[in-house]
Amino acid sequence: MPALKTICVYCGASTRVDAVYRETAARTGELLARSGFNVVYGGGRLGLMGIVADNALANGAHVTGIIPTLLQDIEGAHPGLSEIEIVDTMHTRKRKMSELADAFIILPGGFGTLDELFEILTWRQLQMHDKPIVIINTNSYWNPLKLLISNIIEEKFATPAHATFAKFVASPDEAIGALTDLPEPELGFAGQHV
Ligand code: AMP
């Protein structure tokens, strides 16, 4: 796998979450910057999204935000980003974020984060890309998702190979390590990039 340059971060926009999640977001932003990665994310200033961006920027990363017109008012665009792109729809946002990314880090989040995660997971399953996907399981937040994935495989709605597409790690430090140490996908890759 060629060297990774730009990492897309998907995470929650809620401002009401426990400090343990905010610490994960801060450390993720800091480590991404210190490891020399560019960051792309949804462009918001609130919640874990804003914290990742703040800490990546503070440590010298180039941070690009992709935000739909609709969310500029609801969530608020981050005012201090290296680059911000205003797009027309949520679908364009997700497409642009995934196109710019060489890999994905998923932090705890809500429905929006799950939507983003499952889109890139299914695109990988469909061999539309072969980019690493790393899920940070802070506070065991994603344990129910791990269980669901096990059940999906147990009941043969997906294969064990599909489960390897998303790597669960315990911390931002492990996530950065995993980005350079992921196994090759077991399915062939058709070479069609998102
Ligand atoms: P959440 O995990 O629900 O806090 O959402 C995280 C981010 O994903 C927020 O910026 C949401 O506005 C965004 N989001 C929610 N639904 C979608 C969607 N269908 N497509 C793209 N982004 C979304």
pLDDT tens per residue across span 137-159: 999 999 999 999 999 999 999 99
CB atoms within 10 A of CB 181: 10
Q: Which two tokens stand for residue 11?
A: 């995470």
pLDDT at residue 187 greater than cutoff 90: no
pLDDT tens per residue across span 116-139: 999 999 999 999 999 999 999 999
Convert 73-112 to b/e letters by CB count within 10 Å (16 or more is b): eebebbeebeebbebeeeeebbebbbebbbbbbbbbbeeb
46, 115, 122, 123, best to mutate for ligand 1 pocket (most atoms within 8 Å of CB): 115
Using pLDDT thresholds of 50, 70 and 90, give the confidence band for residue 73: confident
- Percentage of the chain exceeding pLDDT 90: 87
| CA 112 / ligand 1 centre spacing (Å) | 3
Q: Which CB contacts under 8 angstroms, 24+ apart, belong to 171-175?
A: 171/24, 171/27, 171/136, 171/138, 172/24, 172/27, 172/28, 172/31, 172/136, 173/27, 173/31, 174/136, 175/28, 175/31, 175/105, 175/134, 175/136
**pTM for the full model?**
0.92
Which atom of ligand 1 approaches the CA of 42 most closely? Answer: 10
**The pairing of beta strand 133-136 with beta strand 166-169:** parallel
Domains of the chain: 6-179 (3.40.50.450)
pLDDT at residue 161 greater than cutoff 80: yes
Q: What is the pLDDT of residue 75?
A: 83
**What are the backbone angles phi and psi of residue 189, rounded to the nearest 5°?**
-115, 125
Burial class (CB in 10 A: 0-12, 13-18, 19+), 22: middle
| CA 115 / ligand 1 centre spacing (Å) | 7
Residue 109 near ligand 1, beta carbon < 6 Å: yes
Instruction: State the sign of the Cα–Cα–Cα–Cα dihedral 184, 35, 14, 8.
Output: negative
**The pairing of beta strand 38-41 with beta strand 166-169:** unpaired
pLDDT tens per residue across span 96-111: 999 999 999 999 999 9
Kindly report the average pLDDT of the chain as a whole number: 92
pLDDT at residue 182 greater than cutoff 70: no
Q: What is the pLDDT of residue 2?
A: 59
Using pLDDT thresholds of 50, 70 and 90, give the confidence band for residue 184: low
The arithmetic mean of pLDDT across residues 27-45, rounded, is 97
- Pick from 67-81, 92-106, 155-169: least confident: 67-81
- Pick from 2-6, 32-36, 133-137, 158-162: least confident: 2-6
